[in-house]
Chain A
Amino acid sequence: MALLSKKDAKLITDPLADNNPITIQVLGICSALAITAELNASLVMAVSVIFVLGVGNVVISLMRNIIPSKIRIIVQLIVVAALVIIVDLVLKAFAYELSKTLSVFIGLIITNCIIMGRFEAFALANGPWRAFLDGVGNALGYGIILIIVGFFRELLGSGTLFGIPVLGDPIAKTGLYAFGYENNGFMIMPPMALIVVGLIIWVQRSKNEALIEEN
């Protein structure tokens, strides 16, 4: 990590835990929860957001001195929309099935609050390299939560990971199912995503008491 000074490295590591965009800053929940029923979809969503936020932050940071501040929201939206169209077309070309599963949620990356939030808070005030690190760091923090939620929901809900059965076959009653284990179909339902995120917040805040909010 000779490339990164200590200050720069902090830009990446901070959002992973103590300043996580989802659990601490409460940004970008919109498009995050609906697609976490499968690990595959969560991973693709995470990678897409890393791409959009990393590149978008660099673009905005390069243009920061020429964007008139009155119309900056529209400029930001256009930049994100262009990047999201690229992601959407790539997915449609190389992973058509997955792009059907994600449906409108790829489009909703445009209004993902993390992206606008980072543009406003960081890219408009910093140089391209630091903006890039900040973007990747925040998108990684977002991705980690998505993957944790996706992992538990897919494992407990359908007994698979990435679509591969890991707990045995529920019909032939092998593996864990031989002992009477059943899949919890409720985990695949949308409301459980919220509850799983709530539990993650609970775990995180009981480990780090400085994060506890006042009532």
Chain B
Amino acid sequence: MEYLELFFKSIFIDNMVFSVFLGMCSYLAVSKKVSTAVGLGAAVIFVLAITVPLNWWIDQYLLQPGALVWLGPEYADYDLGFLSFIMFIATIATMVQLVEIVVEKFSPALYNSLGIFLPLIAVNCAILGGSLFMQSREIPTLGLALTYGVGSGIGWFLAIIAIAAIREKIRYSNVPPPLRGLGITFILTGLMAIGFMSFGGMLTGGEEESAATSIEKTEQAIQVDQNEEALDKEKELEENTTALNQ
């Protein structure tokens, strides 16, 4: 239950893009086509799933106040917390490099689809943000850290695919010239973020609620969302056709 709750919370409520604006640079730059967006999104899930647990481990056994106690009782007073930025970013940069080499060696097909995105990811705020939020929210166990990493990755993946699909469509719409490209993307993201705010109440209900009902709820929510999206698309098409007819 705890895992499930954190999982859905990190996908919908604390969505990396829509509630904390992390990874916006690549989100805006690589969302012109759905196919590339899928590649980058998958790479982000992959790297977050590796770096968040790894950084959790580093945080627990090296950085927190008193974390060095496993070396011996005389180390109990050390607090290396100020080093966390440098440790996290170094871990991320090396892991990304390592993952790139390993993937290239063992799975050329995967490398061809993910490879070009991996270097981009070392400086993606969503990755460092995942580790920093993991630290500041004091996630208690390794399993939960992994859940959090995968969940935030999936949230980011959803966001970039949604915006890429909309941007592919909007190419056929008559956007005011000054808003074309970047401007309309910002406003669309803002509107989507308002939509995602409605997930805010999803997990505030009864604590004793069984896991099953909460899954059901989310599934419903997803379905509603998809329906809405489909409706929006229909509307857009209609508008286009009327514009064409005119």
Binding site for B on A (CB under 8 A): 23, 26-34, 73-74, 77-78, 81-82, 84-85, 88-89, 103-104, 107-108, 110-113, 116, 189-195, 197-199, 201-206, 209, 212-215
Contact = CB atoms under 8 A, between A and B. Distances in A.
Contacts of A85: 82-83, 85-86
Given A31-B125, A34-B21, A194-B193, A202 B183 contact: yes
Interface residues of B, number: 52
Given A104-B129, A107-B85, A198-B184, A74 B93 contact: yes
A29 B21 contact: yes
Nearest to A89: B82
A84 to B, nearest CB: 6
8 contacts: A30-B22, A77-B90, A112-B125, A194-B186, A195-B186, A197-B186, A198-B183, A202-B178
A205 B181 CA distance: 11
Given A194-B187, A213-B180, A82 B86 contact: yes
A30 B181 contact: no
Contacts of B178: 201-206, 209, 212
B82 A190 contact: no
9 smallest CB-CB distances across A and B, nearest first, come from A213-B181, A198-B186, A194-B190, A191-B193, A205-B178, A30-B125, A195-B190, A198-B187, A104-B132
A27 B29 CA distance: 9
B108 interface: no
Contact of A194 (B20, B29, B93, B189): B189
Given A28-B25, A85-B82, A205-B179, A198 B190 contact: yes
Interface string B110-140: 0000000001001111111100110110000
Secondary structure type dominating chain A contacts: helix
B24 to A, nearest CB: 4
Given A108-B129, A214-B180, A33 B86 contact: no
Interface string B189-207: 1110110010000000000
Q: Which of B29, B90, B129, B182 has the most CB of A within 10 A?
A: B182
A112 B178 CA distance: 26
Given A73-B119, A104-B132, A215-B171, A202 B22 contact: no
A177 B89 CA distance: 48
Given A26-B29, A201-B179, A193 B132 contact: no
B15 to A, nearest CB: 10
Contacts of A84: 85
B25 A113 contact: yes
A111 B128 contact: yes
